[in-house]
Structure 1
Amino acid sequence: VRALTGTDTDRLAEEKERGLTIDLGFAYSDLGGHRIGFVDVPGHHRFIHNMVAGVAGMQHALLVIAADDGVMPQTREHLQILSLLGLKRGTIALSKIDRVSDLEVNDRRDEIKTFVEDSFLETADIIAISSEDGQGIDVLRDALATAAAHHSSERQLPREFRLAVDRSFSTRGVGTVVTGTVVEGQCAVDDQLVLGSDATPVRVRSLHVQNRPASKAEFGDRTAINLVGVDAEKVQRGDWITKNTVRLPTSNVSVQLSVLRDFPRTVRHRSPVHIYHATSHHLGRVALLESNAADPGSEQLADLLVESEMHVKVGDPLIIRDHDLGRTMGGGLVIALDEPSARRRSPARLDMLIRLRSASIQQDPIASLLDMCRHGPVHFDRFRRSWNLTESDAERLRSLPPLTFKNDFVLHDEYLTIQTSAFTATLEEHHRLVSDSEGIELESLATLVGQPMDASRIVLACAVVDGTIKLKGGRYALAHHHANVPLAVIALFEKVKPLLDQAQPPSSGDLAKQLGIPLSKLEKELPSLAKFRLCIQISTNRYYLPDQIAQLTQTAIDLAEHDDFTVRAFRDSTGVGRNIVIEILEYFDRKGFTRRSGDSRQIVGTADQVLT
């Protein structure tokens, strides 16, 4: 690197003393009209973790093999890592040719050609050089300049900005500076970004790209960012700088696992591993999904169960190293960012991951979204974040013809039609068998159809908007259905409705007095009103009209918009007495709509839960 750039990348005293690279070194040069950034990574196997951090976001590999040593074990591991990271192009420098004969140089060439067979370097130039006498240096410069021209003409997929931090320091009069390679997207001066696992808000004060001042940094650029809003000592190698709109930390990552052919043993289910993602390092376990073991040279789906949060995106390559042996086990291509699940190996989930694998390899979010939506509702913002899509790309997805958006979710029209038909048929059968029923509650209906609760709620919400199904008093029914309510129940409702229709409905005892009938008789009759969802019983001796409960539910939602709320706040907002407020809130708690924590409550459910 010094011969190419004039810069000695060995910064540490120990590196200069021992004559080997330990940590990352950086240098820059103008070659053929292109500004090229070099990251000098350690070759020794003890510093492989630094090597992996250094190649994050790289577009071209310069593999240096000494003529006097030839291909070393660490050379093989480096090439394996570069291949697992998905590099497509590189150049091979056969160095130190001044130390060997011409015959030995030719022998090394043959050795290297054999070594790189079936790898991305199979057709790479092998350029013999000597940094001592300058042999081949100009040829290497020309080769790298040609490669730089090729990379600069490649079009990258539009994505939001991501940079993996490899260094941070503070400079007097400037402040905090972080460096790294732009993995995706671009950023500009004055952009508002977030840093690290705690999403610290930061602002870009200034930029240097390839060691020169710049107004913006793009994919592949070696970049130094002067940040406002964080101290240098709080920034670590492995932190990510992104836009807050695409943050999606996760500790459960689904991958296509590839085990290296020369890994010396079978990988067992839940083996402890080291996981390297760009410049970050995590501990975790590999949960195999298609069997309990993965042989060397094999591939299969797996979940990485990570001890700390990762900031990965679909399509990101990961390096996985064995916890015990201290060597590279293989790699993982991220295909999904999942919520933890107890049914990891269910046929439906495996089928979904197999289909997502192809879209991940092809980097095709449209195919991924369409396929996922055919099998259930997809949380659209989570999907957008998992692919690191720009807002404009997300809007284009919203316009795809076969998709229906409902609240935060998106469904494929094919799935929606099939599931709506299933719910309709189930309700038709229920109405035929139980003609006096107002309908079926969500949980029971989802169970009858065999669909998850959350998915059922979204499909039914679409059917309600469409007018196929109606929701009344927390029960679903066909839009044209009218329960055969007994005349006696209707007569009772007509009597009590005016008395209940006030901010503070009377208790059963007061209701009996106002109606002039014995309390024991009224207590036997009132449950029929709840059965037909004409009233809702919130406590032993108090009933509300469904519209009143809906209003009280909305009050709770409004109060909880910014923070938890107290009994006093709810009382003041409703004008209802404290004792009755407690009855209402305890009813909310029982229904799973709210959860009490000390003197306050938070919303943990949905509004329709309180009407069932």
Structure 2
Amino acid sequence: MSKRFYTIGMAGHIDHGKTTLTKALTNIDTDRLKEEKERAISIELGYAPLTLDDESQVSVIDVPGHEKFIRQMIAGVAGIDLVLLVVAADEGVMPQTVEHLDILNLLGIHQGLIVVTKMDQVEEEMIELIEADISDQVEGTFFEGSELVFVDSLSQKGIPELREIIKQKLSTIPVRDAKGAFRLPIDQVFSVHGQGTVVRGTVYEGEVREGDTLEILPQQKKVRARQLQVHHEPQKSGRAGQRVAVNLGGISKHELNRGDVLVSTQHYSTTNTIDISLDTVDQLKYPVKQRGYIKLHIGTAEVYGKIVFFDRNELSEDKNVLCQLRLDDPVVTKRGDRFILRRPSPMETIGGGVVIDPQGEKYKFGEATIEKLQRKKEGSPEERLMDLLKLKKALSKKEVCAELSLSDDDFNEFVNPLLEEGTLLRFGNHYLLAKTYEEMLEIIEEELLTYHNEFPLRDGMELAQLKQDLNPYGKEIASSVIDQAITDGRMKKRGSAVASTTFEPGYPKQWEKRMKQVEETLMDQQLEVEPFSVILERAGLPDQWAQELKHFLVRQQWMKELDEKHLVSAKSFTKALSDLYDQTGERFTLQEAKQTLGLTRKYLVPLMELVDKSGYTKREDQERVWVKEPGK
């Protein structure tokens, strides 16, 4: 049977015995800082392994309870499976206990036990009063109806029973999914002499192995997992639910901070704009203003920013709100991640909730935006992908996973059926809707029709130019779609140009008669032709058609370009070539060519250069040598 990994968090008011309870359960003192020893409070998160049986591995997080250390508490609970709410019997529920309850509730933690400590300090008859007080305070939270366990950590009274209850409770909690892409929000950074940089955190999802190449976000810095430890014991791997320390190669301690994230794939991305579903605390002391300054706690990160509403200018009562956070610094998150919002000053917890889109954009104020955010919140991955591709047109797998916060397995699970049914198409590394493909084809066909009308003498539109017109869809996808359209017979390719399937280059009706006149004149004049511009002028063709018609006649192989100013008919050129070959020897001079063809030097010299250029002869001193026989 595979081992199960869990993380337990201790929460509650300062000096209610969380650290002592942790030591009673694990035999480890989590107060490790000198300042903590002197002040008898927990400043930083403390961690200890709890051994229950051979089938599970449990980490206990001793979370600070003092108000000023709320941020560490939020960082700690973000990866917790089970919470022990600690209440001292001699004091009962206190203000920080209530705030911890709010935060735990908002973070979506649903599994908890209530542990009443310091039982040796109160009389037996006080127990019923303590139970009633706690029951009143936890009403409406996930702790409502939870079992109360009475212990005294110093005398060990109730500790064995608590361990057994914890074991039974954990057996009902599903283990975290290790199939996704590895993600570890960093909550501690330190260095070890002779080893280098070490980071520690709770693995949110996925698995890491010794030797893996990883990435630090948001720095986008590549690192290597040189060694792994779980509670100071070397391990070859670490997986979701475990507290893992990773010795990193390729980065110094000074380049890292609490709140950075260690990941194994490029599917995670950084963001400054997050669409959220926010649930406020029961009673806000002060209203939250539009674009008011907030502090976001997400994972182990703590970032300042502004809150943007789209259906109100102030939030003053308990309710769920769809809104957006625009952050001063980037964070790493994905859809479904939980968060807490606090007001920096005056200090107050505003609420918490879930990320519905880690890549938010700027929206207009109004009901339309709220409806859009509601669709994002409620939509299935398929629906969200449809909406995303309608907006972004074409995306790679990496981009889809980052935008929708999906693992490779999730992506394949819902994308493959869409590909099979034809709703979704894949071109190279990109995916797009079948409707988008048809939309692109319509654009292509319209562009080609316009181009053919404007340039009827050309073979078609240059491929590079057509790709440029499709640039909003991306160069790679434009190339793939054009290639597929050619394969599907939606258009045809001529060299470096593309054309509509029904298009053939030819004279436009308006100028057809005059262009044919130019063609006939060139045929009649044979090799001693007038300048092309003179022939055009006599035919009454505008100058704008000069180059178009010249290139058309040459591409059609009806004419040959004698020089920059003259065209000769291909038929006349072929006859002259044949006459030359029949009436000269293996070698011949320019004078011999003149005698054969009867041309002046004005036409003979460029004609012989054209013969050379066409590969029939080559010049050697004052003679020309035949290289190949005409017609072969």
Provide the rounded CA distance (Å) in 1 between the counterparts of 2:275 and 2:535. 61
Tell me if 1:221 matches 2:249. Answer: no
Cα offsets for 1:114-163 (capped at 9, x unmatched): 22222222232211111122221111111112233333x53627310010
Q: Please state how far the C-alpha of 1:492 moved relative to its aligned partner.
A: 7.8
What SS does the aligned partner of 1:410 have?
strand
The match for 1:368 among 381, 384, 409 is 384
What SS does the aligned partner of 2:187 have?
strand
Q: Please state how far the C-alpha of 1:330 moved relative to its aligned partner.
A: 1.0
Cα offsets for 1:483-515 (capped at 9, x unmatched): 98626489989999xxxxxxxxxxxxxxxx995
- Residue type of the alignment partner of 1:74: Q
CA contact (8 A) 1:32 1:142 kept: no
Q: Please state how far the C-alpha of 1:300 moved relative to its aligned partner.
A: 2.2
The match for 2:227 among 206, 217, 221 is 206
Q: Please state how far the C-alpha of 1:368 moved relative to its aligned partner.
A: 3.1
Distance 1:477 1:334, change over 3 A: farther
- Residue type of the alignment partner of 2:266: T
What SS does the aligned partner of 2:78 have?
coil
The match for 1:280 among 294, 301, 322 is 301
The match for 2:399 among 348, 365, 382 is 382
Provide the rounded CA distance (Å) in 1 between the counterparts of 2:279 and 2:472. 35
Q: Please state how far the C-alpha of 1:222 moved relative to its aligned partner.
A: 0.6
Tell me if 1:357 matches 2:377. Answer: yes
Q: Please state how far the C-alpha of 1:276 moved relative to its aligned partner.
A: 0.9
- Residue type of the alignment partner of 1:163: L
Tell me if 1:465 matches 2:484. Answer: yes
Distance 1:356 1:517, change over 3 A: same
Provide the rounded CA distance (Å) in 2 between the counterparts of 1:125 and 1:292. 42
Q: Please state how far the C-alpha of 1:393 moved relative to its aligned partner.
A: 4.2
The match for 1:63 among 69, 79, 85 is 85
CA contact (8 A) 2:274 2:359 kept: yes
CA contact (8 A) 1:366 1:397 kept: yes
Q: Please state how far the C-alpha of 1:372 moved relative to its aligned partner.
A: 3.6
Cα offsets for 1:62-119 (capped at 9, x unmatched): 1111122222221121112112222121111111222222232221211212222222
The match for 1:156 among 160, 177, 180 is 177
What SS does the aligned partner of 1:23 have?
coil
CA contact (8 A) 1:463 1:469 kept: no
Provide the rounded CA distance (Å) in 1 between the counterparts of 2:444 and 2:227. 60
- Residue type of the alignment partner of 1:299: N
In the alignment, which residue of structure 1 is the partner of 2:287? Answer: 266
What SS does the aligned partner of 1:310 have?
strand
CA contact (8 A) 1:194 1:241 kept: yes
In the alignment, which residue of structure 1 is the partner of 2:616? Answer: none
Provide the rounded CA distance (Å) in 1 between the counterparts of 2:226 and 2:436. 48
Cα offsets for 1:422-457 (capped at 9, x unmatched): 769978998999998989x989999xxxxx944999
Provide the rounded CA distance (Å) in 2 between the counterparts of 1:134 and 1:379. 59
CA contact (8 A) 1:435 1:484 kept: no
What SS does the aligned partner of 1:3 have?
helix
Distance 1:378 1:317, change over 3 A: farther
Provide the rounded CA distance (Å) in 1 between the counterparts of 2:68 and 2:288. 22
CA contact (8 A) 1:32 1:146 kept: no
Q: Please state how far the C-alpha of 1:373 moved relative to its aligned partner.
A: 4.0
1:499-578 matches, within 5 Å, as: 516-517=532-533, 524-525=543-544, 529=548
What SS does the aligned partner of 2:81 have?
coil
In the alignment, which residue of structure 2 is the partner of 1:243? Answer: 264
CA contact (8 A) 1:169 1:233 kept: no
Aligned residue pairs total 507
The match for 2:323 among 302, 319, 329 is 302
What SS does the aligned partner of 2:152 have?
coil
Distance 1:423 1:139, change over 3 A: same
Provide the rounded CA distance (Å) in 2 between the counterparts of 1:460 and 1:295. 53
Provide the rounded CA distance (Å) in 2 between the counterparts of 1:494 and 1:296. 85
Tell me if 1:323 matches 2:344. Answer: yes
Provide the rounded CA distance (Å) in 2 between the counterparts of 1:234 and 1:355. 39
- Residue type of the alignment partner of 1:225: V
In the alignment, which residue of structure 1 is the partner of 2:212? Answer: 191
The match for 2:255 among 230, 234, 238 is 234
CA RMSD of aligned residues (A): 4.4
Distance 1:168 1:471, change over 3 A: farther
Provide the rounded CA distance (Å) in 2 between the counterparts of 1:212 and 1:256. 40
- Residue type of the alignment partner of 2:95: P
What SS does the aligned partner of 2:171 have?
helix
In the alignment, which residue of structure 2 is the partner of 1:181? Answer: 202
1:327-476 matches, within 5 Å, as: 327-338=348-359, 340-341=361-362, 343-345=363-365, 350-359=370-379, 365-370=381-386, 372-373=388-389, 377-380=393-396, 381-400=398-417, 401=420, 402-413=423-434, 419=439, 453-454=472-473, 462=481, 465-466=484-485, 467=488, 470=491
Provide the rounded CA distance (Å) in 1 between the counterparts of 2:311 and 2:93. 36
CA contact (8 A) 1:372 1:378 kept: no
What SS does the aligned partner of 1:320 have?
strand
Q: Please state how far the C-alpha of 1:280 moved relative to its aligned partner.
A: 0.9
TM-score normalised by length of structure 2: 0.69
In the alignment, which residue of structure 2 is the partner of 1:17? Answer: 38
Moved more, 27-36 or 303-312: 27-36
Provide the rounded CA distance (Å) in 1 between the counterparts of 2:221 and 2:151. 46
1:7-86 matches, within 5 Å, as: 7-33=28-54, 34-86=56-108
- Residue type of the alignment partner of 1:246: H
Cα offsets for 1:524-577 (capped at 9, x unmatched): 4159959x999xxxxxxxxxxxxxxxxxxxxxxxxxxxxxxxxxxxxxxxxxxx
What SS does the aligned partner of 2:61 have?
strand
Structure with larger Rg: 2
Q: Please state how far the C-alpha of 1:30 moved relative to its aligned partner.
A: 0.4
Q: Please state how far the C-alpha of 1:394 moved relative to its aligned partner.
A: 3.5
- Residue type of the alignment partner of 2:328: E
Distance 1:524 1:170, change over 3 A: same
Q: Please state how far the C-alpha of 1:247 moved relative to its aligned partner.
A: 3.5
Tell me if 1:114 matches 2:136. Answer: yes
- Residue type of the alignment partner of 2:395: H
- Residue type of the alignment partner of 2:375: R
Distance 1:378 1:430, change over 3 A: closer
Provide the rounded CA distance (Å) in 1 between the counterparts of 2:263 and 2:472. 34
Distance 1:514 1:37, change over 3 A: farther
Provide the rounded CA distance (Å) in 2 between the counterparts of 1:291 and 1:479. 55
Tell me if 1:133 matches 2:150. Answer: no
- Residue type of the alignment partner of 1:161: F
What SS does the aligned partner of 1:313 have?
coil
Q: Percent identity?
A: 27
Tell me if 1:100 matches 2:122. Answer: yes
Provide the rounded CA distance (Å) in 1 between the counterparts of 2:359 and 2:482. 28
Provide the rounded CA distance (Å) in 2 between the counterparts of 1:321 and 1:493. 81
CA contact (8 A) 1:289 1:300 kept: no
CA contact (8 A) 2:213 2:225 kept: yes
- Residue type of the alignment partner of 1:267: V
What SS does the aligned partner of 1:399 have?
helix
- Residue type of the alignment partner of 2:378: S
Q: Please state how far the C-alpha of 1:211 moved relative to its aligned partner.
A: 3.6
What SS does the aligned partner of 1:275 have?
strand
Provide the rounded CA distance (Å) in 1 between the counterparts of 2:210 and 2:530. 73
